[in-house]
Amino acid sequence: MVCLLRRPLYGLKQAPRAWFERFASVVTAAGFSPSAHDPTLFVHTSPRGRTLLLLYVDDMIITGDDSEYIAFVKSRLRDQFVMTDLGPLRYFLGIEVSSTSDDFYISQEKYIHDLLVRAALGDERTVETPMELNVKLQLTDGDPLPDPTRYRHLVGSLVYLAITRPDISYPVHILSQFVYAPTTVHYSHLLCVLRYLHGTITRRLFFPCSSSLQLQCYSDATWASDPSDCRSLSAYCVFLGGSLIAWKTKKQTTVSRSSVEAELRAMALLTAEVTWLR
């Protein structure tokens, strides 16, 4: 009977959808409305302020101006689900949050530490930069790894780490292009990124409470930087006041025939991001 119960709860394809519909019906009855930009973000607005509820599977963040309504929502959720209130936000999906009366900090220090343990570097060396300047890696560099599983696992972990570490966005973008057939040269550059993280494990993103609500955006592009297909690279970052809130490094989908064309494609990518943010 236990196996039959676990099967419909966790083993069926429709289980996640059924769970989300059940949860959404409860919070909607409590006064929330789903956001048009993210279906897992629920918003409640009243004369006393705005309340936000963000859901990821069965973990959630509740924040807002109306403390009385937040207490009411918690009470309604306890009536419907077995729920644990962990207090002020400190840790969520591998992301650490610390705050004072004037600012917030976001980091993944524990995540980096666990990643370095899994990588088993074998020494305590550190480097100043995650990747050397003007490195152009190719599929044929070095000898193929006999077992690429570790390389794929570490690069996948770095992709998630880039959520709070924009300084590794570019090298992760480069290394992720070789997960299909990594070589010893690619793996050596991966170890360089890990040694850089070992020396900068305490770095955090800073969000001051006094920051303005004005968006400032910057974009850049490299022209025909990939020797294998001559495609260019787009990159951008977006600040809300003095806080970095969005960034991306992405290879362009078509070949740009001039540096101006590459720059315009990067600006178009940034414009789409800013339109969504606004």
Query: At 214, is the pLDDT very low, low, confident or very high (cuts 50, 70, 90)?
Result: very high
Out of 1-10, 37-46, 61-70, 228-237, which region has the weakest mean confidence (pLDDT)?
Answer: 1-10
pLDDT at 160 over 90: yes
Query: At 1, is the pLDDT very low, low, confident or very high (cuts 50, 70, 90)?
Result: confident
pLDDT at 124 over 90: no
pLDDT at 20 over 80: yes
pLDDT at 138 over 90: no
Coil, strand or helix at 265 = helix
Which position has the higher pLDDT, 121 or 145? Answer: 145
Distance of alpha carbon 51 from alpha carbon 66, whole angstroms: 7
Name the amino acid, one letter, at 135. Answer: V
**Tokens (6 digits) for 23:** 């949860």
137's enclosing H/E stretch is none
Q: How many residues does the chain have?
A: 278
Query: At 41, is the pLDDT very low, low, confident or very high (cuts 50, 70, 90)?
Result: very high
**Tokens (6 digits) for 230:** 């001559």
Question: pLDDT of 60-94, one tens digit each?
Answer: 999 998 889 999 999 999 999 988 888 888 998 88
> For position 110, what pLDDT does the model report?
93
pLDDT at 7 over 80: no
> For position 142, what pLDDT does the model report?
86
Query: pTM value?
Result: 0.81
β-strand pairing of 103-107 with 41-46: unpaired
Q: Taking the domains of the chain in order of start, what are their residue ranges?
A: 2-87, 107-199, 212-277
